[in-house]
């Protein structure tokens, strides 16, 4: 069983500056936890993002956390930051693997290996920062406010 090393959520002075972070000792205990963290953080955003951007952000988190759990022994960390104006969510995943994320050539017959293509489609880019023991992968997912109804 994975035991979380640290969990915290903070709110800055401005109501739109919301953050969440979580560190796991080895691997990831639940991809679902990461998806739930996205939904909970974005539920507090003002303006409220639409359903589709929340789902997009959850998919990006799932892909990045899955890659970290699959390719790095641990620890692994997730950081979420709602950017000012609530117009985008910055997703950061840190792991211990020195290998960069690699997109595989598209192959509709292959099961798996499509995650980074999805991340690239749903985010404003993928940034990799090399650390002394691994890397930090950051994607920024644009958010659109929910339609008034």
Could you say which of 3.65.10.10, 2.30.30.700, 3.30.450.20, 3.30.565.10 is the CATH number of the domain covering 4-142? 3.30.565.10
Residue 137, both tokens: 């992968």
Q: Give pLDDT tens digits along the chain (149 positions).
A: 333 434 444 444 444 479 999 988 765 567 889 999 999 999 999 899 999 999 999 999 999 998 888 888 878 899 999 988 889 999 999 999 999 888 777 777 766 667 888 999 999 989 999 999 999 999 999 998 776 55
The answer to whether the CB of 34 falls within 8 A of the CB of 67 is no
Which of 11-22 are b and which e, b meaning 16 or more Cβ less than 10 Å from the residue's Cβ?
Answer: eeeeebebebbb
Per-residue pLDDT, 2? 39
**Phi first, then psi: what are they for 48, rounded to 5°?**
-70, 125
Round to whole Å and give the CA distance between 44 and 72: 32
pTM summary value: 0.82
Which ranges of 78-136 would DSSP assign to H, the alpha helix?
A: 115-122
* Domain spans of the chain, in order of start: 4-142
Q: What angle do CA 129, 135, 139 make, to 5 degrees?
A: 60
């Amino acid at each position: 069983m994975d035991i979380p090393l640290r969990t915290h959520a903070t709110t800055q002075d401005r109501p739109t500056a919301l953050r969440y972070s979580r560190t796991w000792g080895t691997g990831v205990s639940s991809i679902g936890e990461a998806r739930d963290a996205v939904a909970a953080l974005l539920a507090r955003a003002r303006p409220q993002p639409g359903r589709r951007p929340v789902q997009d952000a959850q998919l990006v988190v799932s892909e990045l956390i899955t890659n970290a759990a699959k390719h790095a022994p641990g620890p692994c960390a997730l950081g979420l930051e709602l950017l000012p104006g609530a117009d985008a969510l910055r997703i950061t995943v840190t792991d211990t693997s020195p290998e960069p994320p690699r997109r595989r050539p598209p192959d509709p017959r292959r099961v798996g290996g499509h995650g980074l293509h999805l991340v690239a489609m749903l985010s404003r880019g993928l940034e990799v920062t090399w650390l002394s023991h691994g890397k930090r992968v950051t994607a920024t997912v644009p958010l659109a406010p929910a339609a008034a109804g």
